[in-house]
Structure 1
Amino acid sequence: MRRIRATNAGNILLLQLMGLVACLAVSYARADNQVTQIPFADSAPGSVGLGAGIRNGSSPYRYVDTVSSMENDNVRDMMPLYLYEGEYLFFHGTRAGVHLWDGWVTGDLVAQYRFDRLEPEVNDFYRTVSKRSQTVEGGLALEFNLDRQSLYFSLLSDLQSRHNGNVADLTYRYRWDYSRFEFSPYLSLIYQSQELVDYYYGVESDEARPDLPEYEADAAAFARLGLNTTYHLLDHWYLFANFSWEALPSEITDSPLVDEDQIYAAFVGFHYNFGNVFEPRSGQDHGQVITDWSWRVQAGYQAQGTFHKSHRGDLQRSVDVHTYLAGVTLGKKVYDGAILDFWGKFSINRRLENDLQDNFWDFSVYVMAMGTGYSPWSDRELFRYGFGFGFDYAQRIPMVEQIKQDKKDQNTSHFLNYLEAQVDFPLRNMTRAESVRNCYVGMTLIHRSGIFATSDILGNVSGGSDVVAAHMECVR
């Protein structure tokens, strides 16, 4: 069978880019696309935030009209944004990494998600075609900043051995402010290696048919235009609306899998900056420096009910599995409010699977809003209630999730959204022991799920698992 081969355009561009600088770029909608850049990266070290965005756009593939997955019926993809800007570590939604150095030239080690994929189930046209999967890419990134202008160069490599290729991105950006608005147009020059382009747009010999010729794609180079906008709504609230457009190169448009010659992407949403773990802000006029830290130990069992049912008192153990959880949680107050405090928390738990599979570690990072109930006759503290939101990563899929999702014939994910609720009572109301004066005992509800199969980054999972735990937490 005749095998079509694309031209070798783009190799010169790669050499020019690598001659300028070696580094790595990161973003969301497409891994080399800055359309999902949000202003949180400019926050002071120690900042903690949460937000959400809607990812929309067009697909280059035939019979694929949305960026969402076949796992749901959504036209768009919802993205929870878990945000932290530290002196060294950072989390910017689907981008995470380590700051290497700062100044007018910054350097980062980064890892992030590529959302490109092809699901053969979308149309019978792909009946002989294998799935093209999303992946995580990582490497080194540099940015040159001069007043309102910046030059960003990056090189990404596949960390999950999906396409086994790399992508380079050279982006020039200009920023200007108008009242509460910030506008940031940019021009990107993109290079994608032969391995990457051929994985997503090539047709192997065992996939080919008379109406789907074999095709080997070569490396590709192209330009992308974009505009990122931000509106500073309130003190700590930000809205953003970002857009990009690109004309696809012939190495992609010549593929029999493709029927578009240009595509667009959009990312619209908000985020809230809770405060700073290094310099917590205060909503009170006490004038004191906020230094509150907390540690907590927790242990519990797998629950049968959902997070909502557990809140209403349904604390029944799971009928599918008898598994357990035990671990510790560290917290740092980021906002000392008159009504609510906000805490940044990190939890590490051991999942005890009762010989159903090997035990494993489970990690959670989240922000918790904490309120206090006082006696109506005095200022004595009677109880605390907290609600947390963040993300969770499990080394293995908990057995209860494997069983529940298998019953529904639905997928699972190591990385899921995280919710937590806790209620507890001060030990100083029960004992005069000075060692536990600032300690509390109570109950914690732990929940991980995929937000009703609305998010690619969470594996489009519909479902999850819940744990009911007892805890003791001490604050200093």
Structure 2
Amino acid sequence: MKKIIFGILAMSLSTMALAENKYGVGLGVGVSNSIYKGADDKAYPVPLLDINYGNFYVKGITPGYYLFRGEDLSVSAFIDPMAGFPIKAKDMGVGYTNIDDRDFQAMVGLRADLNTGIAGIRTGASVQFGEHGSEAKISAFRPYNINDKFTLVPGIYVKGFSGDYTDYYFGVTSDEVNRSKFDNLNREYKADAAASVGANLTAEYKWNEKFSLIGILGVEKFSSEVTDSPIVNEDPLFIASVGAKYYF
């Protein structure tokens, strides 16, 4: 899903920090299975922005501002313009097309990043708030410089979603059940606060000082508060993305 791809790209790009007042721009394509039943897998164009200017930055599609920048710790405020798990009713499978659309939401948040000094491990923690609830994330990753051109960054993360957030995207109302013409959607569902765990692997190959190739693989598994929903698949989400970026 587009939200997962953007989120992992933003986190992965942040592991490949650029020097201050330097810019990287590029474009990639991401593909993922859908968390929703019957919805087709899709490919999405993904902007690869990595911009640092003073205390301002843009990672992926997420702009932010550093409130504090130390040698090993930074704290920033950011805007996630495309948060959530959007779905159009017409894109659902047979028996689910009478649900209400779920839309993207813009969220504002705070993020702290720490270089632990332990075996090269770096960590991040964030919390963000929007119209339909809140989301928190804790992540850890470790860059491996295979040589002067090739870098691998494995990472893991845990997310938490508030009840309002989870219920908006994965809950089922009585009106949606009553509109259904099939037995697929035959019960209401009130979703509570939920969690997910995930892992991703980012690879960057520096073709030269100006040009890089980037690839990402990722997986995310959701707790039962999400997967028990009658409109949600139980399978994990898998993503893959490739792209190219130019530095100047």
TM-score band by shorter chain is: 0.7 to 0.9
Distance 1:49 1:233 in 2: 14
**1:31/1:168 CA distance change after superposition, 3 Å:** farther
Gaps of 5+ in 2: none
Which digits, 9 at most, give the CA deviation of each residue in 1:130-188, with x for residues without a partner?
10001222211001113421111111111xx2x2x111111111111111111111111
Q: Does 1:151 align with 2:123?
A: yes
In structure 2, the residue matched to 1:381 is: none
Q: CA deviation at 1:222?
A: 2.5
**1:31/1:154 CA distance change after superposition, 3 Å:** farther
In structure 1, the residue matched to 2:238 is: 264
Q: Higher Cα Rg: structure 1 or 2? A: 1
In structure 2, the residue matched to 1:97 is: 64
Q: 1:37-436 residue pairs with structure 2 within 5 A?
A: 37-38=12-13, 42-66=17-41, 75-103=42-70, 104-112=72-80, 113-114=82-83, 116-122=85-91, 123-147=93-117, 148-158=120-130, 161=131, 163=132, 165-179=133-147, 180-209=149-178, 210-212=183-185, 213-274=187-248
Q: CA deviation at 1:271?
A: 0.8
Distance 1:135 1:85 in 2: 25
**1:31/1:100 CA distance change after superposition, 3 Å:** farther
Distance 1:221 1:40 in 2: 23
**1:223/1:82 CA distance change after superposition, 3 Å:** closer
User: Which letter does structure 2 place at the counterpart of 1:49?
Assistant: G
Q: CA deviation at 1:235?
A: 1.1
User: Which letter does structure 1 place at the counterpart of 2:60?
Assistant: G
Which digits, 9 at most, give the CA deviation of each residue in 1:184-238, with x for residues without a partner?
1111111111111111110011111454111001111221111111111111111
**Aligned-residue identity in percent:** 25
Gaps of 5+ in 1: 1-27, 67-74, 275-476
Distance 1:53 1:230 in 2: 13
**1:76/1:60 CA distance change after superposition, 3 Å:** same
Which digits, 9 at most, give the CA deviation of each residue in 1:411-455, with x for residues without a partner?
xxxxxxxxxxxxxxxxxxxxxxxxxxxxxxxxxxxxxxxxxxxxx
User: Which letter does structure 2 place at the counterpart of 1:100?
Assistant: L
Q: TM-score, normalised by structure 1?
A: 0.47
Distance 2:173 2:78 in 1: 32
Contact 1:54–1:76 under 8 Å retained in 2? yes
**1:211/1:235 CA distance change after superposition, 3 Å:** closer
Q: TM-score, normalised by structure 2?
A: 0.87
Contact 1:31–1:114 under 8 Å retained in 2? no
Distance 1:224 1:40 in 2: 16
Which digits, 9 at most, give the CA deviation of each residue in 1:377-411, with x for residues without a partner?
xxxxxxxxxxxxxxxxxxxxxxxxxxxxxxxxxxx
Structure 2 SS opposite 1:215: coil
Structure 1 SS opposite 2:226: helix
Distance 1:221 1:100 in 2: 28
Distance 1:217 1:157 in 2: 18
In structure 2, the residue matched to 1:30 is: 4
Distance 2:15 2:54 in 1: 14
User: Which letter does structure 2 place at the counterpart of 1:109?
Assistant: A
* CA RMSD after TM alignment: 2.0
Contact 1:41–1:92 under 8 Å retained in 2? no
